[in-house]
Amino acid sequence: MLLAKAWLQISEDSITGSQQRDKEFWRRIIAYYEKSNTSNVARTQANLKTHWHYMNPFAVAFNQMNAAKKAAKGKVTNSTSSSGNRLDEILEKHIEENKKTFERYQNSLDMKNALKERKMKIKEEKVKNDEISIIFMDPTTMSEDGREIWRNRCDEIKIKYNMK
């Protein structure tokens, strides 16, 4: 929701309006996000842009709905001086109306993150197995220097994986 609020505030800025360049627009989005973020979850510009790619259709629909409501009330304005609470209420209502879609999006992100974590664990296990297999190598065909290097490496591996 914070990303949507940032987009709304920055895109409705009456000073710069829609004349902002992409780079400047995203710099301002990130600054707003970082200033308002209370979750302690850091996001890069790439993270925010990825999230925005999925959220954009909802934000556009929300903005159109908001503009239509303002026009119906005779309050068409590009000013950011709109009541922040009212915008929050409208945004909350829009989110509630589209909750299932947001939940599907969040579930897909959760699954993607879980898959990433699983892949990382598999990679770590493979590295561990590869390193432990060094311990079981046959040193009889190694030169004396090779055996010394192998013994040192075995000691490092045993320490690393608490095998002593």
Per domain, the residue ranges of the chain are: 2-97, 122-160
Q: What are the respective helix, strand and coil percentages of the chain, to the nearest 5?
A: 75, 0, 25
* 53: its two tokens: 């790619």
Could you tell me the sign of the dihedral formed by the alpha carbons of 36, 41, 46, 51, in that order?
Answer: negative
Q: What is the DSSP letter of 162?
A: T
Q: What pLDDT is recorded for position 81? A: 46
Q: What is the CA radius of gyration of the chain?
A: 27
Looking at the predicted structure, is the pLDDT value of residue 141 above 90?
A: yes
In this prediction, residue 80 has a pLDDT band, given cuts at 50, 70 and 90, of very low
pLDDT at 129 over 90: yes
Whole-number Å distance between alpha carbons of 20 and 154 = 59
